[in-house]
């Protein structure tokens, strides 16, 4: 997820999750040893991703997350 630019972070997440799940399925077929991470901007992770819905979604879909700071293009945290 490079950014949450629409008025609805939930809509942005739905799009990103759909892409993520499709990519992960393809990797399971083509490159099963490779792991896929969802990249999330630090501010979004610190706010939107702390809600109970998002915590449940991350758990339900077994999302691996990379939290990054977009202004300096730096990875802040890897979450398995």
pTM: 0.85
Query: If you average pLDDT over residues 46-52, what whole number do you get?
Result: 95
% of the chain exceeding 90 in pLDDT: 80
Residue 10 — pLDDT band, cuts 50, 70, 90? confident
Contacts of 75 (CB under 8 A, 6+ apart): 66, 67, 68
Q: Is 57 helix (H, G, I), strand (E, B) or coil?
A: helix
| Pairing relationship of beta strands 74-79 and 65-69 according to DSSP bridges | antiparallel
% of the chain exceeding 70 in pLDDT: 94
Residue 6 — pLDDT band, cuts 50, 70, 90? confident
Query: If you average pLDDT over residues 28-52, what whole number do you get?
Result: 94
Query: What is the domain partition of the chain in residue ranges?
Result: 9-79
CATH of domain 9-79: 3.40.1350.10
Residue 3 — pLDDT band, cuts 50, 70, 90? low
């Amino acid at each position: 997820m490079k950014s949450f630019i629409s008025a609805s972070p939930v809509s942005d997440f739905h799009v990103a999750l759909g892409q993520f799940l499709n990519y992960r399925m393809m990797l399971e077929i083509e490159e099963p040893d490779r792991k896929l991470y969802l990249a999330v901007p630090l501010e979004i992770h610190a706010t939107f991703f702390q809600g109970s819905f998002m915590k449940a979604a991350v758990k339900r879909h077994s999302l691996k997350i990379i939290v990054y700071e977009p202004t300096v293009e730096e990875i802040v945290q890897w979450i398995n």
